[in-house]
Amino acid sequence: MAQETPITKLSDEKLMQWFREAKFGMFIHFGAEIPERLEDSDLTRTEKYEIGVREFNPVDFEAKEWVRIAKEGGMKYIVFTTKHHDGFCKWDSDLTDWDVIDQTEFKRDIVAELAEACKEADIKLGFYYSIADWHHPEYDTSYSNRNGFHFHPNPKADITKYMDYMYGQLRELNEKYQPSLFWFDGSAGFRNPNRKRLLGQQEMVDMLNGYGAISNSRLGDDDALRYVNYLSMGDNMIPTGNIGMDFESAQTMNDSWHYNAADEDWKSPEQLLANLIDIVGKGGNYLLNVGPNSRGLIPEASVSRLKIMGDWLKQNGDAIYGVEAGPHPHDLGWGTITQRKEGENTLLYLNIVDWPKDGNFQLYGLNNKVVSARLLASGKSLSVESTYNSAAGLNTLTIQVPESAPDPYVSVIALEVEGDALMDQAILQQRDGTVYLDGFQAIIRDKEIVPNKLLKPLDHKTFTVPKKGEGIMPAHGMTLNGFTEIGQALTWDFRLVQTGTYKVFVVNSIREGQPLNADGRLKATIAGKSVENELVELERVLNPRMATQVMNSFAELGTLTLQNAGMTTVSLEVTSEFTDSNPAFRSLMLIPIEKIKDDKFPK
């Protein structure tokens, strides 16, 4: 399928350098839509959509304006939907007439104009390209990612001919517009190993890398990065800890990827900036979506939020651009840490969402000597004191800070330490007393030994699709499936800092509106004390790190008192089988009883 690569392939490190430094990009979903006047007509979906394509005429589209908005928002690259599942091409393609030049009254090459504007503004450009194609006559409907839908089903479709077409279009896009990135989507129909071979993952990535473009993992769900350059998390998904690889989280600003006038469920600037520091603190990139309307205008609600983010980045960009993941691999509760080398020393950026009200910020587990501390935005120096908690076996750094947060969204402390940053690698109790034990950080104990099975879910390198196998296995959305039989257990070790009385909760993942179906019982044993219960939902809250409408469902196991600080072992075991259910296990949480008020649960 692929021809000889046109240039010598750069090393993976050189190809990925710009991506690792950029950290923040704009995703643009834009294309033809079914005209509103035809929504309730008797026409078929195909007829409606093809009318929408012919009438596609974004008269207010200006590529330079899109790029200006991205740059004002502090974004370093743009990913544009060149071809979505509908197969409609927003460039002048020599391989099909199902494109913006041949089918519409607009007759302008959107991709060409955007490529030129990005080049002038020195911003990288990437191309979203759907592997699925509901319009191409040789795309076999059995490969569709939407229940076999196709505009013009062809019983004699030859998928190999479509693959030749796809490879041809990818070469065309590279040679005409020189993108830096390809963002594949729609390969769900190729998950069967025999079908996946048709994608030619190694061949395709070699071709793209030869042109100087990197590829995401949705080219055949390559979460383990066997062939591709970086991991795309599931839609709207942020990993729960540092996963140890290059990744990107693509998220909507509201609940829609394409423009939707009825969708007013906009994320707040606070949430968007919290997402940014969360993702970058774990070593990833944040790809934030906008959906221009039919006239080609980015909605004001998106523009205003990006302006706020850009203003924040003008003051705090050193904590984001070109940094590495923080030195602690687990969730911290108050925010995240990013870092960069400063000569022989290290600059740690403490990106704080939950600002302390008493004027004392405490950082657990830092084992370096502090050179200096200051507020990043203002440069104001801060006093620090380091103490050692012998009971917990933990260093605590206390930084004296203003009682009011310097920034209304995220306040940043720049902390310079001697040498390479060294932090306790254990799961740490959070500053507010909460203990969060993520399922992906557990050790699996199956009912029977499964030969060659990795015992830590994180090590399976499966984050976006369920993994088949015996016993407890990683599942979609960084949950665990198969935790249902007597004899199975999950175990963790964590460092307890604050002794006290805690309520113990099992947290399962569930879609909004769906009932929790869990007919078994679980028992948690912590420092030799046990609590056991069936899973009865007390509360559910939206999970901002997962796809839209994904909820955290809380079920209480009981209350126990922990009297000894230090490293603590936890086990969670099945004591009564889940015969008619398979809940999606997310985490075990210990919450101080004084923290639970008015039945409000943390996200």
Instruction: Domain ranges for the chain, please list them.
Output: 12-319, 326-425, 435-595
The per-residue pLDDT for 593 is 94
Taking the C-alpha atoms of residue 461 and residue 227, their distance in angstroms, rounded to an integer, is: 14
Query: Rounded to whole angstroms, how far apart are CA atoms 464 and 602?
Result: 24
- When the pLDDT of each residue in the chain is averaged and rounded to a whole number, the result is 94
Note the pLDDT tens digit of each residue in 385-425: 999 999 999 999 999 999 999 999 999 999 999 999 999 99
Identify the weakest region by mean pLDDT among 188-202, 307-321, 488-502, 560-574: 188-202
95 has pLDDT over 60:
yes
Candidate ranges 186-200, 251-265, 588-602; pick with highest mean pLDDT:
251-265
The confidence score (pLDDT) of residue 7 equals 46
CATH topology of domain 435-595: Jelly Rolls (2.60.120)
Per-residue confidence (pLDDT) for residue 3, from 0 to 100: 46
Rounded to two decimals, the pTM is: 0.95
Written as six digits, the tokens of 415 are 């902390």
Cα–Cα distance measured from residue 109 to residue 177, given in angstroms and rounded to the nearest whole number: 11
pLDDT of residue 33: 87
Do the beta carbons of residue 594 and residue 502 sit within 8 Å? Answer: no
d(CA 187, CA 197): 12
Q: What is the pLDDT of residues 538-581, one digit of tens each?
A: 999 988 888 778 999 999 999 999 999 999 999 999 999 999 88
- pLDDT reported for residue 250: 98
pLDDT higher than 80, residue 602: no
Interior/surface letters 125-161, b for 16+ CB within 10 angstroms, e for the rest:
bbbbbbbbbbbbbbbbbebbbeeeebbeeeeebebee
Cα-based distances in Å from 178 to 66, 173, 462: 19, 7, 31
Topology of domain 326-425, CATH? Immunoglobulin-like (2.60.40)
**C-alpha 212: how far from its chain's center?**
24
- The answer to whether the CB of 189 falls within 8 A of the CB of 465 is no
Q: Is residue 29 scored above 80 in pLDDT? A: yes
What confidence category does residue 461 fall into, taking pLDDT thresholds of 50, 70 and 90?
very high
Closest CA to 439 of 512, 346, 367, 522: 522
Fold of 12-319: TIM Barrel (3.20.20)
Q: With bands split at pLDDT 50, 70 and 90, how would you rate the model's confidence at 5?
A: very low
Asked whether the predicted pLDDT for residue 6 surpasses 50, the reply is no
pLDDT of 4 strictly over 60: no
> What number is the average pLDDT over the span 245-273?
96
Say whether pLDDT at 358 is over 60: yes
Q: Which amino acid is at 416?
A: E
